Amino acid sequence: MREFTKDKTMSIYFFETDQQQQTYLTERLPDETLNFCSEPLKTAAQARDMFDAEIISPFVHSHVSADVLDALPSLKMIATRSTGFDHINAPCAESRGIPVCNVPTYGENTVAEHTFALILALSRNLHKAYMQTSAGNFSLTGLQGFDLQGKILGVVGLGGVGRYVAQIARGFGMIVLACDPVEDSEKAERFGYTYTTLPDLLGRSDIVTLHAPLTSETRGMIGSENLSLFKRGAFLINTARGELVDTEALVRALDDGILRGAGLDVIAGEEVFSEERQLLLNPNATAGSLKTALTNLSLLRRPDLIITPHIAFDSLEAIERLMITTVANIQAFRRGSPQNVVHG
């Protein structure tokens, strides 16, 4: 770990912050030099303007690559305001003695509740009903839903969020199947789910919900091969990471009737929703980025999809917990005992 002087004011840069977060951080880190940016950190060119940064605190839309790290010669710590850290080149940071500290828990129940918001919206056609009634059409045609009681919910990934989802599902009278590399029989009994293999879960579940981390093993785990195993007419929910799902394969599965619908809070390449105009007009845009943009934009017109803009984590209480832990991570590092250090 890079050395620092405990009684010296440190230069800290926070990215993707709003005014409320900036006020909170200013009040709780009064002895540091704080710099705020509402935009994500993505390029080395941006980082070069922050060459004095000793601590940076990105959020999920920032990309802390090796090039960005090269442009930050004074950097001593990264305090990401998230549980996931796939937006940071953690091995590179670790090799340079720069600890990457995350927020291990802050929104398990929050994300689980949003998961069920998507499930309920799909099961009762709330999105279609809203659009119809907004247009003055009060017909019931095409709006009949289905009960959750007695349905099988397949939960992929039984960390904190997955366990909350299983617990909520049991309250609805659902049968819960679970798939996770590490099985915990005590928690399975307590939260009321049964472990099985991924192929069996996909083949039996009426609704499949993803709560796995993004790793080299899980990237694209829901692709053409696994989608072919789904129970015909099932629904897919993803509030975890967009890259868990092959978007093109998902579209084919919807077109072919393998899936009846999907609820997505995250999509691979989701940043194009706010940048599509600049991307489409950019003469240097790659064929891959343009294809991702067009594919994702086409999803917005599908009546069998509900898409929310990566807000599953975003409740008042969850953000407060996130900020509390981020401040504690910075203070622990300043004391010389970093906490919540992740390893790539």
Q: What integer pLDDT is reported at residue 297 of this predicted model? A: 74
Domains of the chain: residue spans and CATH: 11-106+316-342 (3.40.50.720), 108-307 (3.40.50.720)
In sequence order, what are the residues at sequence separation of 6 or more whose Cβ sits closer than 8 angstroms to the Cβ of residue 192?
A: 166, 167, 170, 176
Using alpha carbons, select from 257, 336, 254, 335 the residue that is nearest to residue 298.
254
Residue 1 has pLDDT above 70, yes or no: no
* pLDDT score recorded for residue 5: 47
In the chain, % of residues over pLDDT 90: 84
* Nearest 10 degrees: Cα torsion 313, 187, 237, 340: 30
Tens of pLDDT, residue by residue over 67-115, are 999 999 999 999 999 998 989 999 999 999 999 999 999 999 999 999 9
Residue 288's pLDDT is what? 63
The pLDDT of 221-249, averaged and rounded, is 97
Higher per-residue pLDDT: 336 or 285: 336
284-324 pLDDT per residue, tens:
666 666 666 677 777 888 899 999 999 999 999 999 999 99
Query: What spatial distance separates the first Cα and last Cα of the chain, rounded to whole Å?
Result: 15
Q: How far apart are CA 59 and CA 56, in angstroms?
A: 10
Catalytic residues: 241, 276
